[in-house]
Amino acid sequence: MSHTASLAAAFAPYEALAEQLLPHAVSGNDGSHDAAHLIRVWKNALRIHGSEGGDLRIIAAAVLLHDCVSVEKNSPHRAQASRLAAERAFELLDEHGWRTAEITAVAHAILTHSFSANVPPESLEAKILQDADRLDAIGMIGAARCFYIAGRMGSGLYDPLDPLAVDRPLDDKAYAIDHFETKLFKLTDGFQTAAGRALARQRQERLRAVLGMLIEEI
């Protein structure tokens, strides 16, 4: 079995769709937006879908292609990433013979999933993708991804003189743990579905525990 086919098996019951789309699903070398991220987002989406419903095929395609265009976090074009990914997804699904209405639904979900884009999701499928993707930004995985991205961007872990920014402005470009306050702890308030909100509360507690343990050790 090929590597792509092995990865595709994680997207059951849409293994065939995953095998088609995975070669186009990840661009660049960002380990926080790789195949492992897609699989985690799919698992999150399945859990939310189990409570909320929605068209699972649309959700699967949106999960697989939501990061198909890579734009670095520190790029001035970061806010355009989801629009570019939605446009690329439209092209790919059109090539695979999807109906226009289905492609439009997938593209909308991809466009609106991004925090940076600041476009509200209107369909249930779009809300599920946004929640599933944001769940991967909090909790233990969220902390790991935060530190990984900080390393890619050349940031420090924390300010040695004032790690919790008591007497200085928060600066998540300079210090990784500042990102917890500037963005990650705020994500929970914006979840779109009841199931997503419940999962987010659990992961928020884990994220606060990670920060608390880190502070204890420094």
Q: What are the pLDDT tens digits along the chain (218 aa)?
A: 678 888 899 999 999 999 999 998 887 677 777 889 999 999 999 999 999 999 999 999 999 999 988 776 655 656 678 899 999 999 999 999 999 999 999 999 999 998 777 788 999 999 999 999 999 999 999 999 999 999 988 999 999 999 999 999 999 999 999 999 999 999 999 999 999 999 999 999 999 999 999 999 99
Gap between the Cα atoms of 208 and 108, Å rounded: 32
Query: In the chain, where does the domain assigned CATH 1.10.3210.50 lie?
Result: 138-217
What distances in angstroms separate CA 210 from CA 70, 129, 137, 151, 156, one per listed residue? Answer: 28, 25, 13, 18, 17
Q: Does domain 138-217 bear CATH number 1.20.120.1080? A: no
- Full-model pTM: 0.91
Distance, CA of 182 to CA of 186 (rounded, Å): 7
